Structure 1
Amino acid sequence: MIAMGLQNAVLPAWEQGMILGGRYRIARIIGQGGMGIVYAAHDLKLGGTLRAIKVTSARSGLSAFSDEAHTLMNLSHPNLPLITDYFPPESNQGLEALVMDYIEGDTIAGIMAKTPAGFPFSKLVHIGLQLCSALHYLHNQPSAIIHRDLKPSNVMIDSKGHVKLIDFGISRRYKEGQMFDTVKLGTLGFAAPEQQAGKQSDTRTDIYGLGALLYHMASNGAGLVNELGREGRKQPVLQLPKDIPSSFGMMLERMVQPNPEQRYQSMTEVERALRSFDSHIRQTEKEPMRWDSSRFDGNPPIISVLSVTPGAGATMLAITMAMMLGRKGIPVTALEYYGVQPEWVELLPYSKKDAKEPGLIAGISERFIQRRSGKNVNWLALQAEEGANRDQDARLFQMQLQQNRHTVNLIDFSSSWHDQHAMFWLKQSRHVIAVGDPFIAKWQVGQIQKLMKLGEELKTRGGSLHFAANKDVRFRGRREWFALFPEHPISAIPLLPQDAVLNMLWSGKWVTDHSVLDYRLSRAISKICERIMEGWK
């Protein structure tokens, strides 16, 4: 039964066991306020996966969530909610629901209420960097999205310290040339002065909000106080505990300047300032932080494989690496990137025995087929679909990554790595392996420069870019070919006898099932696997 019904604009509580949209079984209420109710529910189409469903009532036929839903459905970032479904208001009942990934954790407000000592400085920086990452992503959308409501109750943290910025109810897209916002919105104590005055809010409004939030956490709940300075202008007065570095207070003071022109001008600048404290913490703390301060904490460890040019061999390397890691006892979820032409469905080893094994093959959606190899390798192969919805594919792709966060997530981008969607995932990777072959006529200077830029950005975030030379064989120009790589390849993968490769593929097997081919590949790829296993351990 679908849980509906509304009387006198009072939102009814849905009973445990009720089913929304024939798919979501209500488990319990996990939050409630003046705007609506948040439920935990089991997704019956995805094996009972736990979801959060935010329900509210529309007033006078207007949607309370439509703007929030539209904003979130087109976003994909590890520190933002993943919207998986949406139910618009029914014409006569007026109920509206957002279905999103469930976060096992608490808000900053809830944590501070339970922990009188507040947040240690190391965790403060750790949380701030994740929020910077989310806000930087929002601000760099084609039309910048301003959150406008950074406060303790709008930031969720799970047991591993992974942060989610929630509640986009009053977010807005920046409109150039507009002098005033439509209404004055925000939370007193965290809203920037221009917001409270109803003036135009921009990315610097969120910089103020983040500064106010970090000060609230650092001071264990104190609010911002502004006093008149020597020039008769209001200036923030911050009072921080002695264990907080004075330079951190100076950073916060700049973030919460009443005049937007005197703040940091971008979230990139804020992140750079925060990251300097992150480095200091790693060097000075004797005991490891309970929450890992690396940028990968709480995020699935991603290993990305791409071809420098079409046909260089990323798909062969990705599938082989997944199998070799699985044999070494490393749990792997191998995914075919949703922007490529599907190949895995036909390439992956498959036998009649597999069809009889329950759970080995399953369709998790119209776009992905799931297979398993032994205990350690989970495959997600892309299916061809005419008119595929790219944003919907992105949401499903991220959902799979988040659900498999305790495995190594190995993504095959093939040669489809140039678009904005692909670059987003590449930048989230712990390791990116770029595969190049000897057919240099296809190499483009622009592509190599793009990879070098990616490598520099990965390095600043703690990741790394590696090159692999594929189809290696002794020939006159081999030395010159190796010199074309921006750095010496981490691995030289031999050109395998094509008749042996084709015999294996046409037999429904993979090259690693051939003892000689497996030996040659294992020797070549072992260095890459060792590097990945170092990060996993």
Structure 2
Amino acid sequence: MRYPARLEHGSLLGGRYRIVSILGSGGMSHVYKAEDMKLPGKIWAIKESVTALPCEANMETEAALLTSLRHPRLPLIVDFFVPDEEGYTYLVMEYIEGQTLSDYHKQCRGKIPLEHMTEFTLQLLDVLSYLHGLNPAVIYRDLKPSNIMITPDHEVRLIDFGIARSFKAQNGEDTVKLGTAGFAAPEQYGTGQTDARSDLYGLGALLLYLMTCGAYTEWIQGVESSIRSDVPRTYIPVVRRLLRHNPEERFQSADEVRKELLRRPGVTPNSEVTTLTISGGTRVIALTGASSGVGVTHTAIAISHYLERQHFKVAVIEMSPRSQSFARIQQVALAGKPLSTGRQFEVDGVHYWKQSGRADILSLLGGSYQFIVMDLGSGQDQNRLEEFLRADLPIVVGSGAEWKQAEISAFVRSHHRFPRDKWIYCLPLAASDAVQRVRRSLDTSSVYGLPLHIDPFDREPQMDKVFAHILMDMIGHQPKKRSFFARKKIHD
């Protein structure tokens, strides 16, 4: 229900606050910009609302709640007018220069810069951690773009506590079911009492909304294809867990979410976008060929089994839609055994995925794999190019033969507009002088010759040395070998 605004330009409230303009309206309230007649030049925001509503979300409750809060990401309350004879009340609060996240989202045409998305998320986690840490905890319950202000310095301010509530441990469910459709947790519709995990669901819905340019707020079929290509893959399992229907299956605190984001590639404590060394989560290695027939599949398999021998859980994915390589591997490796009718099979602990797509990658990122190795083949379609560019470790496989070395230089020139600081170049069977020539040609030391490795499934000491050097920054250190007793127990 929408209530008419009582104030207009020039109106004087309480003999002190002169209305300059209306800032926004909702079904239950209006917000004005006002100047302070006692403090010349001082601007305030005034929220007008009607308290005679069939719910507990009234202005007196909001005022009492907000005046007790002290956090840099919350507005400061300076004055409150009790309900008049018609039920209208007024809350005078700090005026926040900027725009709502909803307006900023529109200004960016649905694609907020990734670094700002990360900043906003960490700042929201900061204020949620404060609210949930109070005694009793304060549950916000309406985390949506129009309730988040963004200052010119890209600082977040959480506004409009109209339906916030204090957590009551003895309650089986909330007395009033409120929240914005799409951003509210399932329990806000009557299935249980809202708590800190309800706000975390709202954060997940907000994140998914930003990651899909405003297309989705819940994880349903087809959402994967709408996720922005520049969003780090490691955000996916975090958002999926935040959006679990059962609160017990979500993250249990804002601090837990923050720690998970900070230990994944794409986020650092100072909110800069970068790549971290391995400390948890799934890492993606993508291999593409400078030309056909240079050994992309062979190298991808060799890397996968090397990682498995270091006791990591690994999946290798065939991304070329017409390739039959993995199907042939399955027939040979599992000869005499019943073949699975699905696209996944296992060889020596490595999980192989035949002819996979982007949706498969996103689903695997939410699993327990520590590494995903992508065999992109030598094709250059847009989807595979995006996967290559987004990988934690992009590897270009080329030929070390003198008459084919120009192909790898041509590949680099054709992608000159993309940053290449993470790229690694591998030359199977290349002599040391060929490696040096390519290094000079590409002006990088990240060029490696790969020795003869007849069977990529088995260990080859020289190849292991090369992989150990290439993957050093991702692995950090080698996991400890299993002890004699651990090995004996496994075999027993």
TM-score w.r.t. the length of structure 1 is 0.47
> In the TM superposition, what is the alpha-carbon distance from 1:241 to its structure 2 partner?
1.6
The reply to whether residue 57 of structure 1 matches residue 47 of structure 2 is no
Please point out which of 112, 122, 133 is paired with 1:129.
122
SS in 2 for 1:217: helix
Counting only pairs closer than 5 Å after superposition, residues 332-481 of structure 1 correspond to structure 2 as none
Q: Does 1:190 align with 2:187?
A: no
Deviations 1:89-108 (A, max 9, x none): 12x24220011111111111
Kept in 2: contact 1:57–1:96 (CA 8 A): yes
Matched, 1:118 2:111: yes
For the residues of structure 2 that align with 1:57 and 1:131, how far apart are their CA atoms?
29
Structure 2 residue aligned with 1:76: 70
- Closer, same or farther in 2 for the Cα pair 1:170/1:157, shift >3 Å? same
Moved over 6 A (4+): 60-63, 235-238
How far the C-alpha of 1:46 sits from its partner, in A, is 2.6
The residue aligned with 2:139 is 146
Distance verdict in 2 for CA 1:57–1:247, change over 3 Å: same
How many matched pairs?
270
The one-letter code matched in structure 2 to 1:14 is L
Shift of 1:37: 1.7
**2:272 counterpart of 1:282:** yes
Q: 1:200 and 2:193 equivalent?
A: yes
Structure 1 contact 52–102 (Cα < 8 Å) conserved: yes
Partner of 2:255: 268
Q: Distance in 1 between matches of 2:273 and 2:5?
A: 53
Work out whether residues 156 and 165 of structure 1, in 8 Å CA contact, stay in contact via their aligned partners in 2: yes
Per the alignment, do residues 239 and 172 of structure 1 end up closer, same or farther by CA in structure 2, a change over 3 Å counting? same
Does the 8 Å contact 1:236/1:257 carry over to 2? no
Percent sequence identity is 42
Q: What is the aligned partner in structure 1 of residue 210 from structure 2? A: 217
Task: Give SS of 1:116's match.
Answer: coil
Q: Which residue of 1 aligns with 2:89?
A: 96
Query: Judging changes above 3 Å, is the alpha-carbon distance between structure 1 residues 80 and 33 closer, same or farther for their aligned structure 2 residues?
Result: same
Contact 1:11 1:56 in 2 (8 A): no
AA aligned to 1:126 is E
SS of 2:245 mapped into structure 1 = coil
1:157 aligns with 2:178: no
Deviations 1:145-201 (A, max 9, x none): 000111111111011101111111111111113111112211111111122234111
How far apart, CA to CA, are the structure 2 residues paired with 1:145 and 1:168? 10
Indicate the residue corresponding to 1:25 in structure 2.
Answer: 18
Superposition deviation, residue 44 in structure 1: 2.3
Alpha-carbon distance in structure 2 between the residues aligned to 1:58 and 1:262: 37
* Residue 79 (structure 2) pairs with residue 85 (structure 1): yes
Return closer, same or farther for 1:135/1:94 CA change in 2, 3 Å cut-off.
Answer: same
Code of the aligned partner of 1:191: A
CA deviations on 1:349-402 (whole Å, 9 max, x unpaired) are xxxxxxxxxxxxxxxxxxxxxxxxxxxxxxxxxxxxxxxxxxxxxxxxxxxxxx
Contact 2:81–2:91 (Cα < 8 Å) also in 1: yes
Is the 2:139–2:195 Cα contact (8 Å) retained in structure 1?
Answer: yes
Local SS of the residue matching 1:48: coil
Alpha carbons of 1:246 and 1:12: their partners in 2 closer, same or farther (altered >3 Å)? Answer: closer
Partner of residue 254, structure 1: 241
Q: 1:94 to 1:196 in 2, by over 3 A?
A: closer
Task: Judge conservation of contact 1:11–1:57 (CA < 8 Å) in 2.
Answer: no
* 2:411 match: none
CA deviation string 1:194-224 (max 9, x = no partner) = 2223411111111111111011012110224
Partner Cα distance (1:275, 1:20) in 2: 47
Q: Match for residue 459 of structure 2?
A: none
Going from structure 1 to structure 2, the CA distance change for 1:93 and 1:282 (only over 3 Å counts) comes to closer
Q: For residues 284 and 58 of structure 1, do their structure 2 counterparts lie closer, same or farther at Cα, with a shift above 3 Å needed?
A: closer
Q: Secondary structure at the match of 2:188?
A: helix
Kindly provide the CA deviation profile for residues 392-442 of structure 1, in whole angstroms up to 9, marking residues without a partner as x. xxxxxxxxxxxxxxxxxxxxxxxxxxxxxxxxxxxxxxxxxxxxxxxxxxx
Mapped partners of 2:75, 2:217: distance in 1:
28
Please tell me the residue identity of whatever aligns with 1:282.
Answer: E
- Say if 1:129 and 1:275, in contact at 8 Å, map to a contact too: no
1:194 and 1:12 mapped to 2: Cα distance? 32
Q: CA deviation at 1:227?
A: 5.1
| CA deviation profile, 1:129-157 (whole Å, cap 9, x unmatched) | 11111111100111000001111111110
* Residue identity in the other structure for 2:141: R
- CA gap of 1:148–1:18, structure 2 versus 1, over 3 A, is same
Query: What CA distance in whole angstroms lies between the structure 2 residues aligned with 1:221 and 1:11?
Result: 30
Larger radius of gyration: 2
The CA deviation string for residues 295-350 of structure 1, in whole angstroms up to 9 with x for no partner, is xxxxxxxxxxxxxxxxxxxxxxxxxxxxxxxxxxxxxxxxxxxxxxxxxxxxxxxx
State the one-letter code of the partner of 1:54.
Answer: K
Cα distance in 2 for residues equivalent to 1:146 and 1:283: 30
Aligned to 1:511: none
Matched residue SS, 2:106: helix
Q: Does 1:245 pair with 2:221?
A: no
Are the equivalent residues in 2 in contact too, given 1:236–1:256 (CA < 8 A)? no
Q: In 1, are the aligned partners of 2:138 and 2:166 still within 8 Å (CA)?
A: yes
Asked if structure 1 preserves the Cα contact closer than 8 Å seen for 2:241 and 2:250, the reply is yes
Per the alignment, do residues 255 and 106 of structure 1 end up closer, same or farther by CA in structure 2, a change over 3 Å counting? same
Q: 1:207/1:251 Cα in 2 relative to 1: closer, same or farther (>3 Å)?
A: same
Unpaired runs of 5+ residues, structure 2, are 276-492
Would you say the 8 A contact 2:3–2:27 is kept in 1?
no
Which amino acid is the alignment partner of residue 59 of structure 2? F
2:272 alignment partner, SS class:
helix
